[in-house]
């Protein structure tokens, strides 16, 4: 009070008060677009500074404590906060081992059959789908591409079985873009229907390697943890021959993350005894399981093991099925 009084007596103007935004204020309330953008950038910059300062402070504390420093906190992600699924497979489960020893893929894993794949398309495919099928056939050994012209799948399947094909892959398209994949294991099923997205052909991939060779690739299956995931993983595994030719240095990866299956095809390059690099060969695509059906494809009378029902199943972002 005394200081304010003395300032008034001296005739000096009073100091302007600092204007504080109300606690509920948000940048989006600013009507002027340029001002709003400027304030948002300032806010982001402040956030970055605070984050960096906190990081430096933590690092100094860890260096000061040395060996007594507490372990680093694991960041929370949707994956590690995943809701427990009661069908998660235990590797030592006898029931799972028995099921896998007697399922439709057992002859493949017991080395009694050699994979022979037929790749076909929806009726009268366009150029992009045709090129995708051709490139997919260079990834999967012993695969043959045939184009459908008005022939129903129910007529194709008996012909495939008669010619000793073990699997049928159908690539569907919409508006000239591949958007679906049907995978049917022959002769007794099961049949999986996937939605396909993010298709990239070889010429669209940056820093791609040379064309793939005819060597049998290795196969990597990541994060297929539930009973349903195991079935899908075994379906993918049975497309490739048993013994990979390591001299080809090629690897096909099916990586499941949040029920999206990412496919990549790489070649690894030994730069030295300790350093290894990889180069992508292509194609690449993403799959999302829509249904798993018992037996071969039958849209009318087929019995479904699993169907993705969005309204019922997608109630939580932390619930995954594969």
Say which residue the tokens 């996937």 belong to: 194
Rg, Å, the chain Cα set: 29
Tell me if 178 sits within 8 A of 129, measured CB to CB: yes
Cis peptide before 190 (omega within 30 of 0): yes
Cα 47 from Cα 165, distance rounded (Å): 59
pLDDT tens profile 63-94: 888 777 778 878 888 877 788 877 788 777 78
pLDDT tens profile 207-240: 888 888 999 999 999 999 888 999 999 999 999 9
- Token pair of 84 as six digits: 């427990």
Cis peptide before 283 (omega within 30 of 0): yes
pLDDT tens profile 109-129: 888 889 999 999 988 888 899
Cα 312 from Cα 306, distance rounded (Å): 13
Q: Is the model's pLDDT at 244 over the cut of 80?
A: yes
Q: If residue 128 lies in a helix (H) or strand (E), which one and from where to where? A: helix 127-139
pLDDT tens profile 153-164: 888 889 999 999
Tell me if 144 sits within 8 A of 166, measured CB to CB: no
Q: What is the pTM assigned to this prediction?
A: 0.77
């Amino acid at each position: 009070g005394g200081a304010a009084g003395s300032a008034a007596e001296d005739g000096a103007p009073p100091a302007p008060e600092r204007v504080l935004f109300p606690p509920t204020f948000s940048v989006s309330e600013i009507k002027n677009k340029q001002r709003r953008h400027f304030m948002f950038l300032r806010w982001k910059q402040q956030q970055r500074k605070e984050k960096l300062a906190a990081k430096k402070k933590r690092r100094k504390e860890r260096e000061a404590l040395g060996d007594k420093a507490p372990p680093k906190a694991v960041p929370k992600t949707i994956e590690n906060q995943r809701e427990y699924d009661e069908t998660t497979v235990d590797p030592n489960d006898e029931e799972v081992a028995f099921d896998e020893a007697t399922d439709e893929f057992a002859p493949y894993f017991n080395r009694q059959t050699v994979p022979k794949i037929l790749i076909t398309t929806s009726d009268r495919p366009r150029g992009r789908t045709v090129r995708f099928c051709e490139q997919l056939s260079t990834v999967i050994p012993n695969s043959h591409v045939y184009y459908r012209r008005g022939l129903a799948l129910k007529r194709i399947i008996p012909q495939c079985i008669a010619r000793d094909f073990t699997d049928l892959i159908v690539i569907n398209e919409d508006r000239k873009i591949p958007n679906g994949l049907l995978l049917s294991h022959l002769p007794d099923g099961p049949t999986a229907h996937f939605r396909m997205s993010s298709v990239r052909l070889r010429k669209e991939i940056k820093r791609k390697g040379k064309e793939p060779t005819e060597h049998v690739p290795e196969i990597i299956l990541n994060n297929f943890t539930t009973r349903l995931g195991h079935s899908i993983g075994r379906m993918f595994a049975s497309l490739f021959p048993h013994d990979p030719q390591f001299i080809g240095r090629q690897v096909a990866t099916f990586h499941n993350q949040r029920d999206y299956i990412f496919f990549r095809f790489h070649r690894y390059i030994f730069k030295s005894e300790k350093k290894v690099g990889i180069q992508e060969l292509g194609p690449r695509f993403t799959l999302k399981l829509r249904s798993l059906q018992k037996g071969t494809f039958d849209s009318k009378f087929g019995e479904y093991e699993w169907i993705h029902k969005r309204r019922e199943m997608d109630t939580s972002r932390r619930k995954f099925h594969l």
